[in-house]
């Protein structure tokens, strides 16, 4: 049984990732920690609880993390995910925040890793603020993890938020820098460009959303707004390799739960640019080994889309 700890900024694709984790038979989700990102933290908390409710898993502990980045000004992605982060289709019966744990997210992360040494797989699908603080609280935290999977950064200088910066890293560049420097556990990164190139055909997406179940209804509702945007000619022009359905965060989660999902990957040392006028928040890949960093990460290159499709279908049935 894989033990997962999810650090999320629940937006639409985080919701999809959480639902895959919850429907994977070989996975136990130990806890979910929440961070600012796609939408303000209060929305992230509510959205996470809504997802757990529809999956009948409100017993999974949810922790409140940071509501803002370490130094950067706050930003969110309301234009894509909706102002509430989940497609602007409010649920009048949404679970109340009294269900949240009292302990702070970063502290809980450290505690959970201590309870299950070298067993916990951490999947981070938002800005990395909670992870950056967790390693300050306990410098040995990364070593206690089995692995870390991140959706974030870019590997081809192609951004989706700044010219060459991806949202999660640009939203908290210092946090991303700390994590890439100090997390010395096996680390897998699903970058923005990789996720675009691994997009699924819209025909699959249409079929996927035509399933009939309570979870499928929920998915149809929360995705409607972002799907409309993603399918627009204007958006498709911005993305890479012809576009398609790109559930970014799902790639990191799928790799964490399924060892056969990644087909090809690069192993390389990485860091994050903190200074550049146009490049702040951009991930830098050191293929020439000029930085002489000991620790290398795995950059995902190709994946098995058929396995992903099966996971997405299972998640809503």
Annotation marks residue 172 as catalytic: no
First to last CA, the chain: 21
Instruction: Write down the least CB distance from residue 77 to ligand BDR, Å.
Output: 4
Nearest CB to ligand BDR, comparing residues 142 and 281: 281
Contact 135, 108 (CB under 8 A): no
Interior angle at CA 243, CA 85 and CA 36, nearest 5: 25
Task: Please state the closest distance from residue 265 (CB atom) to ligand BDR, in A.
Answer: 19
Which one is catalytic: 7, 9, 14, 172?
9
Comparing C-alpha atoms, which of 131, 121, 152, 132 is closest to residue 21?
A: 121
For residues 135 and 141, the answer to whether their CB atoms sit within 8 Å is yes
Residue 233 to residues 83, 110, 192, 205: CA-CA distances in angstroms? 22, 44, 19, 17
Q: Which is nearer to ligand BDR, 19 or 110 (CB)?
A: 19
Min CB(86)–ligand BDR separation in Å: 11
Looking at the Cβ atoms of 149 and 167, the one nearer to ligand BDR is 167
For ligand BDR, which residue has the nearest CB? 167
Least gap, CB of 43 to ligand BDR (angstroms): 13
CB closer to ligand BDR out of 110 and 255: 255
> 160 vs 187, which CB is nearer to ligand BDR?
160
CB of 56 to ligand BDR, least distance (A): 24
35 contacts 8 by C-beta, under 8 angstroms? yes
Residues within the interface to ligand BDR (CB under 6 A)? 11, 13-14, 38, 77, 80, 125, 151, 160, 166-168, 192, 248-249
- By three-state DSSP, how is residue 104 classified? strand
Instruction: Round to whole Å and give the CA distance between 133 and 179.
Output: 9
State the Rg of the chain over Cα.
Answer: 18
CB of 203 to ligand BDR, least distance (A): 23
The string of DSSP codes covering 75-90 is: ---HHHH-TTSSTT--
Helices (H) and strands (E) in the chain, counts: 14, 9
Q: Are strands 145-151 and 62-64 parallel, antiparallel or unpaired?
A: unpaired
By beta-carbon proximity to ligand BDR, the closer residue of 110 and 160 is 160
Q: Which residues are annotated as catalytic?
A: 9
């Amino acid at each position: 049984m894989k033990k997962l700890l999810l650090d999320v900024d629940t937006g639409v694709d985080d919701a999809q990732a959480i639902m895959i984790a919850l429907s994977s038979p070989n996975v136990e989700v130990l806890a979910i920690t929440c961070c600012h990102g796609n939408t303000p933290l209060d929305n992230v908390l509510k959205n996470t609880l809504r997802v757990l409710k529809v999956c009948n898993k409100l017993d999974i502990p949810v922790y409140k993390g940071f509501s803002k980045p370490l130094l950067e000004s706050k930003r969110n992605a309301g234009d894509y995910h909706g102002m509430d982060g989940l497609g602007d289709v409010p649920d009048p019966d949404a679970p109340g925040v009294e269900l949240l744990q009292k302990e702070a997210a970063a502290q809980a992360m450290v505690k959970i890793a201590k309870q299950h040494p070298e067993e916990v797989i951490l999947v981070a699908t938002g800005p990395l603020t909670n992870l950056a603080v967790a390693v300050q609280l306990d410098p040995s935290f990364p070593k206690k993890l089995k692995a870390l999977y991140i959706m974030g950064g870019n590997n081809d200088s192609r951004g989706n938020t700044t010219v060459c910066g991806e949202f999660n890293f640009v939203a908290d560049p210092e946090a991303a820098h700390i994590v890439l420097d100090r997390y010395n556990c096996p680390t897998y990164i699903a970058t923005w460009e990789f996720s675009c190139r691994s997009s699924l055909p819209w025909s699959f997406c249409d079929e996927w959303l035509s399933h009939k179940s309570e979870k499928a209804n929920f998915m149809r509702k929360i995705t409607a707004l972002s799907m409309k945007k993603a399918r627009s000619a204007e958006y498709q022009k911005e993305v890479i390799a012809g576009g398609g359905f790109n559930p970014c965060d799902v790639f990191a989660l799928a790799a964490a739960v399924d060892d056969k999902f990644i087909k090809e990957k690069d192993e390389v040392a990485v860091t994050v640019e903190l200074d550049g006028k146009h490049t702040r928040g951009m991930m830098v890949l050191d293929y020439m080994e000029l930085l002489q960093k000991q620790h290398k990460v795995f950059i995902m290159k190709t994946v098995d889309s058929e396995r992903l499709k099966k996971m997405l279908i299972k998640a809503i049935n």
